[in-house]
Amino acid sequence: MFTINHWFHRNPLKSTAIVSFDHRTSPSSTDAMQICNQLRQLRLELLQLLCNPTLETSNIRDTFDQYMSLLTGFVISPDGSSDDSKLRYTTKFYWSDSLTKTDIITDVQDAQFEICCMTMNVAMWYTKHAAYVASKSSIPSDKDALDVHKSLRTAAGMFKHVMDVELRKLHDVKLPSCSDLNEKILAAYYYSCLGEFHEVTVARAMSAKQDNALISSISNQISQYFDMGGQQLVSLDEKIIGQWRMYFGLKSKFYLAEARAYQALDFLKKNDAPNSLKAAEEASKVQQQAASFCEQYSKTKGAGSPQRHPFFLQLDSLIRRVQSTVDFENNIIHHKRAAADLAPLDNNPTHGILPAEEYIPAKLNSLFSENTYRAFDIGRNVGKPYKEDKHAREVKEAREMPIPQGMPPSESACTIA
């Protein structure tokens, strides 16, 4: 039986102000005006769709690609006359950050900032979609399991693309310390997704009764992903990132305990009682550390109670079962003492570990012909000061559909803010 009762932490989506696109671009042809109208409409549509994690991924990707294919003409020169589009710095974009909500609004007059923020927001939607699909049933269909795995792997690739490619194109921009475009926060999102899509992998491996050594190795790799994610946040404001960092800690300890438990079973199968006993003892010790992280996480504002969630209850049951099995076999057959030193875990799974899905940006829309590009008469505004709309900073939080993460609604009252 394949189960994916998982506990997921999800930060709020980024929020943004309305953008007209024709304020200082001065479109002087029908096609140029059509580009501005489509950009405005597609942006509004996409932002509304992102609030609904129940949608099919194709709905989001199609709308996102249409929007980005047009927005690309605001960054890259469609006629090849220069590296940057003449439209790149004509429009100001206002965005909140996922960790500080609308408390801090960052405005940047650069379409590259919009590409970074919107790509990241769509990546966050994929993580929320995965959490929703996982919440529908504790025993998912193969289609749902693949959807969760694919969505999280896609999100990982998008975060990596923003971090490695798009962010490098953004110059001389002052960002808050806990901005989503802080490389450490982007890296934390990336490692979180790497760990989470491999959670589906190891759940399937356990269900299929794969080799204990393989399960131990994959679990250890997942633990390292979450540990690396948590390390990214160490130097940031604890009041802002504290709960999220606790999530990384509890997941890292959880999978380390699981890795040790399956290592104990592998040693037992090889009749290596001393190392089996030592690994089982370590599994129990680390499981207690995971429980401590759960308790601390639950005390943070808006958090649920992971320690009462089946995801963690199953770990407790696994550790007890492994400890009991190892002790029984040793008392009946081996009569050995636990090894003095802890055997290292395998850091190189033979299979099961995948990289993030490569993100391929949409190509420039055919509407952006050379003639259409020339029809944007930005020269009209040269030397004129940028007049900010008096309502531009009135950024409202996105009205997201809540997700009963980790279990079907009928089985749990836990939610994560």
Q: What CATH number is attached to the domain comprising 147? A: 1.25.40.280
| Co-location of 359 and 229 in the same domain | no
> pLDDT by residue (tens digit) across 165-224?
999 999 989 999 999 999 999 999 999 999 999 999 999 999 899 999 999 999 999 999
| Co-location of 170 and 129 in the same domain | yes
Three-state DSSP state, 142: helix
> pLDDT by residue (tens digit) across 39-66?
999 999 999 999 999 999 999 999 999 9
345, 364, 380: which is the final residue of a domain? 345
Cα(382)–Cα(153) distance, rounded to whole angstroms?
44
| Co-location of 219 and 264 in the same domain | yes
**CB-CB contact of 207 with 138 (8 Å):** no
Residue environment code for 65-103, b if the CB has 16+ CB neighbours within 10 A, otherwise e: bbbbbbbbbbbbbbeeeeebbbbbbbbbbbbbbbbbbbe
* Enclosing domain of residue 122: 1-177+197-208+355-390+397-417
Distances 155 to 50, 194, 243, 366, 398 between C-alpha atoms, Å: 14, 9, 21, 27, 19
* The predicted structure's pLDDT at residue 4: 59
Distances 25 to 6, 45, 65, 91 between C-alpha atoms, Å: 48, 22, 22, 8
Please state the φ and ψ torsions of residue 76, each to the nearest 5 degrees: -105, 135
E strand spans, 311-355: none
* Res 264 pLDDT > 90: yes
| Co-location of 383 and 256 in the same domain | no
This model's pTM is above 0.85: yes
Please state the φ and ψ torsions of residue 162, each to the nearest 5 degrees: -60, -45
| Co-location of 135 and 226 in the same domain | no
| Co-location of 6 and 141 in the same domain | yes
| Co-location of 277 and 140 in the same domain | no
| Co-location of 79 and 144 in the same domain | yes
| Co-location of 111 and 229 in the same domain | no
> pLDDT by residue (tens digit) across 314-362?
888 899 999 899 989 988 998 889 999 999 999 888 888 999 999 999 9
Assigned domain for 187 exists? no
Assigned domain for 186 exists? no
Rounded CA Rg of the chain: 25
Cα(250)–Cα(222) distance, rounded to whole angstroms?
12
| Co-location of 164 and 245 in the same domain | no
Q: How many structural domains comprise the chain?
A: 2
* The predicted structure's pLDDT at residue 293: 86
327, 345, 363: which is the final residue of a domain? 345
| Co-location of 286 and 325 in the same domain | yes
